Amino acid sequence: MDIDGYWALIEGARAHTEDLDERAEWLVEQLARRTPAQIIEFELRHAEVRKAADTWPMWGAAMLLNDGWCSDDVFWYFQAWVIGLGQQVYERATAAPDTLLDAPEVRHLASGCDDAEPPEWEILDYVANDAYERVTGEEYGLWRVLEERGIDLPRNPAPADDGIEGGQAEHARYLPRLCAAFPFAAPA
């Protein structure tokens, strides 16, 4: 599966439903119709795509969208959520995180509506493994195969040092649109 195939599945899930659990199940069903090798390729593409979102500026954006607090886990699940916003939003956001405010889901979150879902999609990280298990019957078989092949995919965020001291809060200061939209979470 190439990167276009990966994004086609993400976009297909997005078109299928707004509910993140239903999107994940749709992805599992679609992947389970493929070969184990194609499921592994999906997982590898997912890791590649995620890497571009693993930056301190994106962590600053995650902090703002998460009420001024963002742990390693929250940031990891935020990255998956941004992927779930679709390829166009994702690519713009990874280049300039302040553009996240252009996404309707982020504007809805900024509105303070009680029905706004938190900006995280943890289950996206498990769809390939779940599909692999459906196809092969082997629980955690995807992780075993990757380990046997010497492929160690990241399981936690690890942004590279970019020379700006202060981590997520300092990076959030460089996101004026998001700071204005989420003033209760913006660093002082």
Q: What is the gyration radius of the CA atoms in the chain, in angstroms?
A: 17
Four-residue CA torsion sign, 76, 51, 9, 30: negative
The SS3 call for residue 186 is coil
Query: 11-64: per-residue pLDDT in tens?
Result: 999 999 999 999 999 999 999 999 999 999 999 999 999 999 999 999 999 999
The per-residue pLDDT for 20 is 96
pTM for the model stands at 0.95
The per-residue pLDDT for 147 is 95
Report how far residue 167's alpha carbon sits from residue 186's, in angstroms, rounded to the nearest whole number. Answer: 14
